[in-house]
Amino acid sequence: MSVEISIYNKRIRPLDGLAHGIIYLCASISIFLLAGIVGYVAVRGISSISWDFLTTVPSSINGTFGIAGNIVNTLYIIVLTLLIAIPFGVGAAIYLSEYAKPGRIVRLIEFTTETLSGIPSIIFGLFGSVFFGITLHLGFSILTGALTLSLMVLPLITRNTQEALKTVPDSYRSGALGIGATKWYMIRTILLPSAMPGIITGIILSVGRIVGESAALLFTAGSGFLLPKVGNYGEGLFQKILQPGGSLTIQLYLSMEKAEYDQAFGIALVLLVIVFGINMLTKYLSNKFNVNKF
């Protein structure tokens, strides 16, 4: 035998080296792909971004193409969706972690919440267009889109709030109840403020999901791109809710269909920046609140 078996000689394992190689190869593929995507969008998109691009609406008379209308529509959809989803989502979480006793009902609610988060957005889109659009006669409108999306982000808010409520120590609860607070008073003044970081994280994640959503909005919110016509007393602001309005992602899709790739990359870059900002904000919040976590 050429190599004496001894604890001083390390046995060479070719398979180990191979496995290492595969791991590093796969990791570099992923990293390369992911970095490539961001880099490519940034490089191609930066040239179409200009002040005009961000502040005008598409108009063949003026010869402009801008996404101001779509930005406003996206904001409308975000605000409306959150207004609908936050009360229900937070309320559901409070029920699940403070009121409900473990059993059939809780399991049913948790299962459906889980299911809801697994349903693809195209199904939400179909359901929203039939139920809110046709049955409730809302047609293609921002409200239809927001109602549809609020079903979609409901699980996100519920789950994050639930997690946050779990981290509030039980001593807070017994302390508040012990000095005579009622349950609702305790929830309102002790639990919700303590759980606020988690709730806010859920909300920010929902905003991210709303900004990136397209399939659920195509058949519900439609594809309008005009700015709301605001009257002297702001009366147009509310009418806009019942008018169709395409979000940034919808406009991106439409530009893509028309093969206007420069516009598409401009919008893609705007979306990336928003997603990046949201990500940073979530990171910041979770870091900030993890430090002084009891």
Partner 1 sequence: MRENSISIIGSYKTKNTVEKIAAVVFKICAFFAVLAVFAITIYMIISGTPAIFEVGLKEILFSTVWAPNAATPSYGILYVILTSIVGTSMAILIGVPIGVMTAIFLAETAPKPLAKIVKPAVELLAGIPSVIYGLLGILILNPFIYKLERIVFQGSTTHQFTGGSNLISAVLVLAIMILPTVINISESALRAVPLHYKHASLALGATPIQTIFKVILPAAKSGIMTAVVLGVGRAIGEAMAISLVAGNGANLPLPFNSVRFLTTAVVSEMSYAADTHKDVLFTIGLVLFVFIMLINLLLNKVMKGGDKDVS
Of residues 46 through 105, those in contact with partner 1 by CB under 8 A are: 87-92, 94-96, 98-100
Long-range CB pairs of 11-20, under 8 A, 24+ apart, other chains included: none
Q: Which of 43, 184, 237, 258 binds partner 1 (CB under 8 A)?
A: 184
Q: Does 228 bind partner 1 (CB under 8 A)?
A: no
Query: Is residue 288 a contact point for partner 1 (CB under 8 A)?
Result: no
User: What contacts 98, CB < 8 A, 6 or more positions away?
Assistant: 165, 183, 187, 191
Closest approach of partner 1 to the CB of residue 36, in Å: 9
Give the interface size with partner 1 as a residue count (CB under 8 A): 84
Minimum CB separation of residue 106 from partner 1 in Å reads 9
Site for partner 1 contains 153 (CB under 8 A)? no
Q: Please give the distance of CA 106 from its chain centroid, rounded to a whole number.
A: 25
Q: Which residues, including other chains, have CB under 8 Å from residue 246's CB and lie 6 or more apart?
A: 70, 73, 217, 221, 222, 223, 224, 225, 254
CA gap 11, 13 in Å, rounded: 6
Q: At what angle do helices 68-94 and 192-212 cross, to 10 degrees?
A: 140
**Selected binder of partner 1 within 19, 54, 83, 273 (CB under 8 A):** 19
What the block records as the tokens of 19 is 């496995």
- Asked if 143 touches partner 1 (CB under 8 A), the answer is no
Which residue from 71, 146, 151, 221 is in contact with partner 1, where contact means CB under 8 A? 151
Kindly state the smallest distance separating residue 187's Cβ from partner 1, in Å: 8
